[in-house]
Amino acid sequence: MTVGSLGLAAPTASAAGSAAAATAATTCPTGWGSLPKHGTDETAVPHSLTGIRTGRHDCYDRMVFDVGSGTDPLAYSVEYVGTFYQDPSGTAIPVAGGAILDIRVGAAAYDPETGEPTYPGRPGKALPGVDLTGYRTFRDTKFGSSFEGVTQVGLGVRARLPFRVQRLSDRLVVDVAHTW
């Protein structure tokens, strides 16, 4: 039953119809795949990373890199790796989960002109302020490095699952599906 504009209960579709609608609403077609995704552009400009946050959705878990700079092109690389190695040292950083995404964003965690930090990540440590409790797909995060204008993050996920990368006006978004 739904409540009409006059506050009176109005009949709704049958329970079977409601169940079908609910199933249709939570169907999660992705077609994203799990192969590497890169956004390289000769016109990419330096950005500064100001934040990393995560969110839970019905069909996927999301990680957002706040980079600012409006619609300027942004370079990125996201791919599954067997071991997460810090760039440029090559030091292996353990990341929990059934699979690891190596995420590289063309945004320094520092101001290139002053060297002052713009994001407080520390190599080999969990991302500050990111709590993955209750997530269906995300398991762990590790800050790799911010070197020569590129910030690297290791994202541990439950299994090798499809993902997509979206460049929005002031951020880079990585979504990892809950299922195939």
Structural contact between residues 105 and 151, judged by C-beta atoms closer than 8 angstroms: yes
| Total number of domains constituting the chain | 1
Residue 73 in domain:
yes
pLDDT (0 to 100) of residue 131: 97
Structural contact between residues 20 and 117, judged by C-beta atoms closer than 8 angstroms: no
Q: Based on the number of CB atoms within 10 Å of its own CB, is 72 exposed (0-12), middle (13-18) or buried (19 or more)?
A: middle
Q: What are phi and psi of 122, to 5 degrees?
A: -125, 130
Residue 147 in domain:
yes
pLDDT band at 74; cut points 50, 70, 90: confident
Is the pLDDT at 36 greater than 80? The verdict is: yes
Q: In 3-state terms, what secondary structure has residue 82? A: coil
Residue 132 in domain:
yes
Structural contact between residues 64 and 172, judged by C-beta atoms closer than 8 angstroms: yes
Single-letter amino acid, residue 166: Q
Mean pLDDT of 157-164: 97
Of the given ranges (3-7, 71-75, 106-110), which has the lowest mean pLDDT?
3-7
Q: In 3-state terms, what secondary structure has residue 105? A: strand
Find the CATH number of the domain harbouring 149. 2.60.40.3500
Residue 114 in domain:
yes
The model's pTM: 0.83
State what percent of residues in the chain have pLDDT above 90.
66
Q: What is the pLDDT of residues 96-139, one digit of tens each?
A: 999 999 999 999 999 878 889 999 999 999 999 999 999 999 99
Sign of CA dihedral 80, 82, 87, 88: negative
Name the more confident of 41 and 162.
162
**The domain containing residue 137 runs over which residues?**
34-177
